[in-house]
Amino acid sequence: MDLTFNERETAFRDELRAWLAANDPGPRPEDADEDATFEWMRSWQRTMAADKWAGVHWPEEYGGRGATITESAIFFEELGRARRPLPANVLGIVMGGPTLMVWGTDEQKERFLPHILDASEHWCQGFSEPEAGSDLAALKTRAVKDGDDWVVTGQKVWTSGAQYAKWCMLVARTDMDAPKHKGLTYFLMDMEQEGVQVRPLRQITGSAEFNELFLEGARIPDANVIGGVGNGWKVALTTLMNERSGLAFFLQVRLRQLLDDVIEEAASRGLLDDPVVADKLADLHVKAEILRLTAYRGLTAIEKYGQPGPEGSLTKWLWSDTNQQLTSFAAELFGDWAYTAGNRWAYELMRARGNSIEGGTTEILKNIIAERVLGLPRLK
Ligand SMILES: Cc1cc2nc3c(=O)[nH]c(=O)nc-3n(C[C@H](O)[C@H](O)[C@H](O)COP(=O)(O)OP(=O)(O)OC[C@H]3O[C@@H](n4cnc5c(N)ncnc54)[C@H](O)[C@@H]3O)c2cc1C
């Protein structure tokens, strides 16, 4: 593993650092509801897009910078380091756009890609269902052909940002008789129609990041099938493969910052002289460093073999575990104050509970590591 950047990567990082220093979306709206936060992130995405920083890993022909995997990692790391937010349409940029680039027709790319980048059309991911999360291929939402349209009936859940979305990456069952992975089709569904009902789910943090989707006779034109009828599983895998790439760097930097903030707060309260506190902070520091280096090791694997290795599962597991330990420790250390409504540490503590579920649960990640890294017998 070589951790030094080459000349091109260093130039990329320096240009980005200068741009981030000159461009600041201002503080996150205080006590704001999701709507204000979304608008703040959308406006930030527009600023990024104006200078071609919204989709750096996208090819230049689609409005990106053709960044390499390492440059893309640098991008997310620097964004986190500068304490800037992710662009509002992160699902469209990181997952939807790259999926269209692989599987979409020229017309689909032309129609959808520019609006993902310029933040004019927000995207969401309609994969999970009440009885199909880890076992995604068990999904039951049905799409039936009716003339030039498909008519969709079913329910999705956990759909992040659906309340702001114009388009949904929807996987539905189009062949009831085919084996479960084969009867699926990937659609782009217009969210602005009567057959689509979005109901926000309020989390323990108080905010509603995700939603339930009720689909009752929603219509999708045949032109919005991505990658062919019956090919949905493969197209969905492309989306999922893109989910963690690069973002791991953003998350590990955010964890590092959170740890630095805990240390600063603890120091201001004179808590660092307590050997138990110092010991715990040292332990968290070591874990944060392991996470950073493992993320780089994953990057080396992608560069060498062209695809992410099982290190991706290891980083996600380590990140969620460490973030949960860190936020629990912070709340315990700062006492009652940290548990009051509206307190930053209360939010961090409660939001971290979802880390071991979102983007693949810890148990599933452990299965992957057991089977594909350690070579243990496969689950039946
Ligand atoms: C914050 C957040 C945002 C999300 N955003 C989206 C989104 O935008 N779009 C979307 O489609 N989904 C989204 N999800 C859903 C997420 O992908 C699922 O929650 C996740 O895949 C788990 O599925 P499930 O909740 O149905 O749990 P289940 O799959 O039902 O699992 C329940 C429990 O059983 C365990 N388990 C299941 N199978 C196995 C096994 N084979 N071996 C061992 N243990 C097992 C799990 O680890 C878990 O502890 C989001 C989730 C969260 C928390």
Q: What is the DSSP string of 183-222?
A: SEEEEEEESSSTTEEEEEE--TTS---EEEEEEEEEEEEG
Q: Is 229 left (phi over 0), alpha (psi -120 to 50) or beta?
A: beta
289 to 93, 151, 205, 216: CA distances (angstroms):
28, 50, 28, 48
> Distance from the CA of 134 to the center of ligand 1, in angstroms?
5
> Distance from the CA of 371 to the center of ligand 1, in angstroms?
19
On average, the pLDDT of the chain sits at 93
Q: Give which of 325, 308, 316 is closest to 363, Cα–Cα.
A: 316
Ligand 1 pocket check for 239: Cβ under 6 Å: no
163-191 pLDDT, tens digit per residue, is 999 999 999 999 999 999 999 999 999 99
pLDDT at 29: 87
Q: Which residues partner with 211 through β-bridges?
A: 200
Whether pLDDT at 247 is above 80? no
Ligand 1 pocket check for 361: Cβ under 6 Å: yes
What pTM value is reported for the model? 0.93
Ligand 1 pocket check for 283: Cβ under 6 Å: no
Atom of ligand 1 nearest to the CA of 156: 11
Residue 109 located in a structural domain: no
Atom of ligand 1 nearest to the CA of 91: 8
Element (H, E) at 23: none
Ligand 1 pocket check for 241: Cβ under 6 Å: no
When divided into structural domains, the chain yields a total of 3
Residue 128 located in a structural domain: yes
Residue 181 located in a structural domain: yes
Contact between 143 and 187 (Cβ < 8 Å): yes
Terminal C-alpha separation, the chain:
35
Alpha carbon distance 323, 69 (integer Å): 25
Residue 118 located in a structural domain: no
CATH of the domain at 129: 2.40.110.10
Structure token digits, residue 215: 């689909």
Active site includes 212? no
Same domain flag for 256 and 360: yes
Ligand 1 pocket check for 367: Cβ under 6 Å: yes
Contacts of 205 (CB under 8 A, 6+ apart): 347, 350, 351
Residue 207 located in a structural domain: yes
Alpha carbon distance 348, 40 (integer Å): 20
> Distance from the CA of 158 to the center of ligand 1, in angstroms?
9
Burial category of 210 from C-beta neighbours within 10 Å (exposed 0-12, middle 13-18, buried 19 and up): buried
Residue 110 located in a structural domain: no
Task: Among 39, 64, 88, identify where a domain stops.
Answer: 88
Q: At what angle do helices 275-305 and 69-81 cross, to 10 degrees?
A: 150
Ligand 1 pocket check for 134: Cβ under 6 Å: yes
250-285 pLDDT, tens digit per residue, is 888 999 999 999 999 999 999 999 999 999 999 999
Burial category of 3 from C-beta neighbours within 10 Å (exposed 0-12, middle 13-18, buried 19 and up): exposed
Whether pLDDT at 302 is above 90? no
CATH of the domain at 255: 1.20.140.10
Structural domain boundaries enclosing 352: 244-373
Q: Which of 34, 39, 243, 358 is catalytic?
A: 243
Atom of ligand 1 nearest to the CA of 128: 11
